[in-house]
Amino acid sequence: MDFKTLLNKEFISLDGGMGTMLQARGLKPGETPEALNLEKPQILIDIHKEYIAAGADIVYANTFGANRYKLEHCGYTVDRVIRAGILNAKKAVAESENPEALVALDIGPIGQLLEPTGTLTFEEAYDIYKEQVEAGGEADVIVFETMTDLYELKAAVLAAKENSNLPIICTMTFEENMRTFTGCALSSMALTLEGLGVDAVGVNCSLGPAELYPVAEELCKWTNLPVVLKPNAGLPDPVTNEYNVSPKQFAELMEKIVPLGVKIFGGCCGTNPEFIKELNLMLKTQKFNKINHEIPAACCSASKTVVIDRPRIIGERINPTGKKRFKEALLAGDIDYIIGQAIEQVHGGQSPAGGADILDVNVGLPGIDEGEMMIRAVKAVQGVVDVPLQVDSTIPEVLEKALRVYNGKPIVNSVNGEEKSLQTVLPLVKKYGACVVGLTLDENGIPKTAEGRFQIAERILERAMALGIPKENVFIDCLTLTVSAEQDAAMVTLEAVRRVKTELGLKTVLGVSNISFGLPERVIVTHNFLTMALQSGLDLPIINPNVADMTGSVRAFNVLAGYDKNSLEYVAAYGAKKDAPVSANAANAPKQDIDLNYAIENGMKAEGAKITEELLKTTDPMEIINGLLIPALDKTGSEFESGKIFLPQLILSAGVAQSCFEVIKNHFAKTGAKSVSKGKIILATVKGDIHDIGKNIVKVLLENYGYDVIDLGKDVPYEAVLNTAVEQNVHLIGLSALMTTTLASMEKTIALLHENNVDCKIMVGGAVLTPEYAEKIGADYYAKDAKESCDIAKRVFEEFYPHG
Amino acid sequence: MNRLLTNRAEFVIISLVMKMELEKLDRAEAFRYMGHKGGEIPENITALADECEERLLKNAAPKFVWRVFDIEKTAEGVLVKGTPLVLKGRSIASHLRVCEKCVLMAATLGTSADAVIRGYESGEMEKAVIADCLASAAIEQVCDLAEAEIQTALSGMHFTWRFSPGYGDLPLDIQSDFLNVLNAQKRIGLTATENLILVPRKSVTAILGVSENKLPKGRRGCAACNLKETCAFRKSGKHCGG
């Protein structure tokens, strides 16, 4: 018997709780249950047999926490524990009345949270799961259960898919708010996992069958895979301390769930063989209710699903093409700049625009490692915004890197009608379960006619479907050409959009900005073309959402076309007061009297930037920096030292100065002038430490004083500090640690720098540090706060490294 | 509705309930964490704090879990009966010296509170700092509420103040076992990194001594604190009041 054959049964029964059974046999809380596989195998064999006797078709081996992290202290290897666990279950099956029962390799969460919340990387998680999957090769099916982080589950599924041929069942744990602890939504789970090609999805633990009814109902809407439900025995009772659902009630409550279309049933915490027996008695009286759900075209992040049932905005700003400042940021590895672009497009920046539903991410630039940058950009952006991403590259290897580390169901931009593109990109789209944008061009270029483009769209769709990519995952871009160069082209594009939409039934994508190239007042033409395209059936306009007119067009269209019911979203976007607190403050101030000093002292970012722009027309940028910005910063700095202002005010002022510097940097980028750096400084929060905030404050202040800060981030390996210092010839290194447990990492980092005779000074800071300890571990300076780190930097570069 | 889930004196409060309780954050405490030493808070900072507080209240999902255990004092340390935990060191021994039982508790604001702070960090550091301190105040409030729940549930008993791993000479390396004993990852999504940092970041683990007898009034003093060498409050001649 295998899992696929088993699916022919009316229903499949899983087993019940394992922890409950083991605790009843003397396991103490906090002990490693998996060690029993080797120490007391008979206990497990007996439990499995009881479950099979109760009717379980699949029993979960006692391998839930058998990963290298959790077994670290128990003295057994992952391989031994898992092999023994599966062997016990296999023995039980052989000795039972149902020798056809299957054994599942049961795998739970690692026990460490993944980046960006925790420190475990996606790649490490993959490795940990790979080890478990490889050890469990004797099982009949792999189960990942009790998962709360979709990202961790994706690492697990990839590890299983790439290192085993066994079928995969995934169940996550949801709270009553229909989300997991990490905020994963049911729709996102279903779309992502079905895309990755798992064999069944579902829900286990946390609540009883009554509370899980709405959860199961929502899940069933989003998938046509077999759905699994493994609830607890209700909720633990506050008085009797026992779970409040009896085996009979459990079966009755589960019966109500059958019509939803759930196929696979079992029990979790608090359930025992009695529950499984009652469950099976009930299932014998029922018929499986196969429902075919039409799954809409949609992409998602872990917490947000964007259904393409109306025009949705794809923000185009994360793309270096034609943007000098962006290119500089990429060359400098300045990931914060990219994050800033992401946040502005979604939430609006200084102006109340924003409104992107999806973000395109393109980091292609000669001279950088695009693949590595793509991984960093995807991880960083998905860490701060919840909109889904469209990964954009001309290089398939880069696309694959992005697809691997993306948390959710992304869009791939793009494939086209060329044979080579179809052959390399579509298999990636299939493997990672993404949506894909198909460009209507091929070896012969862009067809001049709508018919020509339509035919390519048709071809792309056929090829995608032949690989098993669902039709709703294919979006077509009929390509916008420049109307000033080819006037007929605009209508050809629109006609192609209309035909792809109506005749092929596919969603359409269009980058619209190209249309107005070479014309004056471009926004008028672009904006009108956008409206025409929407009317022709455009679903996914790729635009700059920071241009209020463009976003406004889409919002207005959604009202006029009847998608935005009662204009709720439109009113939400424009009807409410949008005054940010800081600009509200500014509005009260007499406008004409504001100078740079005033803006900096009062935390007025937008005004600071505006004044700087004005000043640049008449004043040398260096004079603005040295004559205005630095003195203003010195003033707030000394006010901070004397206790006249406190930390948030200091940082707010620094933030204004930063927005002024950003304007100056843009000016330098435009004029091609090299900005003058006062020196390069590495900042890092040491290995093992994830308290980043202090270091980030220091960074803002140092940048304001004109230093080039190379921010290595948090949890930084010792070697990374050494290598960067050597490669980039950096003479000042700032290290931060906030825990007594991570001070050792600081010491090791310093030792490594000294061992390698790096010509540099080291300053350290962090809550648990003292000047004495700093000296003891070999640091040159102890900085008690961010302000002092600026003083140290000044001294170091003046005294030791006057040339930066 | 205050729904309690219990499993042998083990309680989890559904996030919704706690959210309703946490309708206001302790601003004064948060500003103190930011180094404010008295005087009026400027208007623009108050406005920023309003925005940060709203975001945090909207996103934070406070949860806690606790359980009561018998303890036994041995030469090796205080044994938490029925678990592999041994609480070592003089400070915890003294903290629990007249207690027969202890409560292990863990509380968290959840990953989304971290995400709020992280979101601010890339371009709005002033809000990141304010949100960070507000969240620190919030988790203390959650612990206070949790403690109140525990005291109600174990009414008639007497309690010490909250003592956390890492205080005094109680080693921090019991963190993982501590979380395992409470099954904290499964119940409230709380984990510790290899370097024993709690994740989600805004989380607390603590031990409360429990006794049937009235406890001698003992304040938590600076001497027991692991930050006593570097504490900003102490440097300025004050204390955090803990």
Whether the pLDDT of residue B15 is over 70: the answer is: no
Residue linked to tokens 């009553």: A176
What is the amino acid identity at position B109?
L
Banded pLDDT at A588 (limits 50, 70, 90): very low
* A666 shares a domain with A684: no
Banded pLDDT at A353 (limits 50, 70, 90): low
**Nearest by CB to B44, which of A581, A688, A697?**
A581
**Nearest by CB to A236, which of B5, B37, B117?**
B5
Calculate how close chain B gets to A68, using CA atoms only, in Å: 12
Among A173-187, A423-437, B21-35, B160-174, the range scoring the smallest mean pLDDT is: B21-35
Among A413-422, A647-656, A724-733, the range scoring the smallest mean pLDDT is: A647-656
Enter the tokens of residue A46.
């007996």
CB contact under 8 A, A585 and B195: no
Instruction: Classify residue A38 by its DSSP letter.
Output: H
> In 3D, which of B205, B181, B159, B220 has the Cα closest to residue B86?
B181
Among A243-257, A680-694, B71-85, B214-228, the range scoring the smallest mean pLDDT is: B214-228
* A32 shares a domain with A161: yes
Residues of A in contact with B172 (CB under 8 A): 740-741
Banded pLDDT at B235 (limits 50, 70, 90): low
Residues of A in contact with B201 (CB under 8 A): 117, 690-691
Q: Is residue A146 part of a domain?
A: yes
* A730 shares a domain with A697: yes
Residues of A in contact with B189 (CB under 8 A): 148, 181-182
Q: What is residue A623's predicted lDDT score, i.e. its pLDDT?
A: 87
Could you list the residue range(s) of the whole structural domain that residue A600 is in? 581-671
Whether the pLDDT of residue A240 is over 70: the answer is: no
- CATH number of the domain that A511 lies in? 3.20.20.20
Contacts of A576 (CB under 8 A, 6+ apart): none
Whole-number Å distance between alpha carbons of A156 and A162? 10
* A196 shares a domain with A100: yes
Q: What is residue B220's predicted lDDT score, i.e. its pLDDT?
A: 58
- The DSSP string of A381-401 is HHHH--S-EEEE-S-HHHHHH
Architecture of domain B4-235: 3-Layer(aba) Sandwich (3.40)
Q: What is the pLDDT averaged over residues A605-621? A: 90
In chain A, the number of structural domains is: 5
Whether the pLDDT of residue B12 is over 50: the answer is: no
Banded pLDDT at A615 (limits 50, 70, 90): very high
Q: Is residue A421 part of a domain?
A: yes
Q: What is residue B1's predicted lDDT score, i.e. its pLDDT?
A: 31
Residues of B in contact with A340 (CB under 8 A): 122-123
Q: What percent of chain A has pLDDT over 90?
A: 74
Calculate how close chain B gets to A415, using CA atoms only, in Å: 32
Note the residue count of chain B: 242
Q: Is residue A221 part of a domain?
A: yes
CB contact under 8 A, A31 and B84: yes
Q: Is residue A265 part of a domain?
A: yes
Residues of B in contact with A28 (CB under 8 A): 82-84
CB contact under 8 A, A117 and B111: yes
Q: What is the pLDDT averaged over residues A176-183? A: 92
Q: Is residue A92 part of a domain?
A: yes
- CATH number of the domain that A617 lies in? 1.10.1240.10
CB contact under 8 A, B189 and A182: yes
Whole-number Å distance between alpha carbons of A223 and A262? 11
Whole-number Å distance between alpha carbons of A625 and A803? 19
Enter the tokens of residue A549.
């007119």
Banded pLDDT at A215 (limits 50, 70, 90): very high
Q: What is residue A740's predicted lDDT score, i.e. its pLDDT?
A: 79
> In 3D, which of A616, A611, A617 has the Cα closest to residue A596?
A611
- For residue A459, the surrounding DSSP H or E stretch is helix A450-466
- ipTM score assigned to the predicted complex: 0.84
DSSP β-bridge partners for residue A200: A169
Sequence-ordered strand ranges (E) for A108-188: 141-147, 168-172
Q: What is the pLDDT averaged over residues B37-47? A: 89
Whole-number Å distance between alpha carbons of A762 and A767? 17
Residues of B in contact with A646 (CB under 8 A): 31, 34-37
Interface of B with A in 184-213 (CB under 8 A): 185-186, 188-189, 191, 193-197, 199-201
- The DSSP string of A171-236 is EE---TTSB-TT--BHHHHHHHHHHHT-SEEEEESSS-HHHHHHHHHHHHHT--SPEEEE--SS-B
Q: What is the pLDDT of residues A753-766, one digit of tens each?
A: 999 999 999 999 98
Q: What is the pLDDT averaged over residues B158-179? A: 92
Whether A445 and chain B come into contact, CB under 8 Å, resolves to no
* A588 shares a domain with A509: no
Whether the pLDDT of residue B214 is over 90: the answer is: no
Whether A340 and chain B come into contact, CB under 8 Å, resolves to yes
Which residue, A264, A283, A302, sits at the end of a domain?
A283
Q: What is the pLDDT averaged over residues B40-48? A: 91
Q: What is residue A595's predicted lDDT score, i.e. its pLDDT?
A: 87
Q: What is the pLDDT of residues A288-347, one digit of tens each?
A: 999 999 999 999 999 999 999 999 999 999 999 989 999 999 998 888 889 989 999 998
Q: What is residue A768's predicted lDDT score, i.e. its pLDDT?
A: 82
* A618 shares a domain with A486: no
* A686 shares a domain with A663: no
* A604 shares a domain with A479: no
Q: Is residue A552 part of a domain?
A: no
Residues of B in contact with A240 (CB under 8 A): none
Q: Please name the residue of chain B whose CA is at the shortest distance from the CA of residue A662.
A: B123
Whether the pLDDT of residue B195 is over 70: the answer is: yes
**Nearest by CB to A29, which of B51, B181, B226?**
B181
Whole-number Å distance between alpha carbons of B116 and B128? 8
Q: What is residue A26's predicted lDDT score, i.e. its pLDDT?
A: 87
Whether A713 and chain B come into contact, CB under 8 Å, resolves to no
* A473 shares a domain with A521: yes
Whether the pLDDT of residue A700 is over 90: the answer is: no
* A36 shares a domain with A128: yes
Whole-number Å distance between alpha carbons of A784 and A328? 33
Q: What is the pLDDT averaged over residues A195-217? A: 96
Residue B199 exposure: Cα atoms within 13 Å on the Cβ side: 23
Among A7-11, A88-92, A184-188, B25-29, the range scoring the smallest mean pLDDT is: B25-29
Q: What is the pLDDT of residues A527-560, one digit of tens each?
A: 999 999 999 999 999 999 998 889 999 999 999 9
Whether the pLDDT of residue A236 is over 80: the answer is: no
Q: What is the pLDDT of residues B96-117, one digit of tens each?
A: 999 999 999 999 999 999 999 9
Q: Which pTM value belongs to this model?
A: 0.89
Alpha-carbon distances, residue A538 vs A319, A356, A456, A505, B207 (angstroms)? 22, 16, 18, 12, 60
* A747 shares a domain with A609: no
Whether A315 and chain B come into contact, CB under 8 Å, resolves to no
Query: In a mutagenesis test of the A interface, which of B129, B134, B236 is the best target, namely the one with the most A β-carbons within 10 Å?
Result: B129
Whether the pLDDT of residue A384 is over 50: the answer is: yes
> In 3D, which of B219, B239, B214 has the Cα closest to residue B227?
B239
* CA A442 and chain centroid, separation: 33
Residues of B in contact with A243 (CB under 8 A): 7
- Of A389 and A628, the structure prediction assigns the larger pLDDT to A389
Q: Is residue A297 part of a domain?
A: no
Banded pLDDT at B3 (limits 50, 70, 90): very low
**Nearest by CB to B44, which of A235, A582, A651?**
A582
Residues of B in contact with A113 (CB under 8 A): 111, 191, 199-200
CB contact under 8 A, A700 and B125: yes
Q: Is residue A222 part of a domain?
A: yes
Q: What is the pLDDT of residues A400-450, one digit of tens each?
A: 999 999 999 999 999 999 999 999 999 999 999 999 999 999 999 999 999
- The DSSP string of A674-706 is PPPPS-EEEEEEBTT----HHHHHHHHHHHHTT
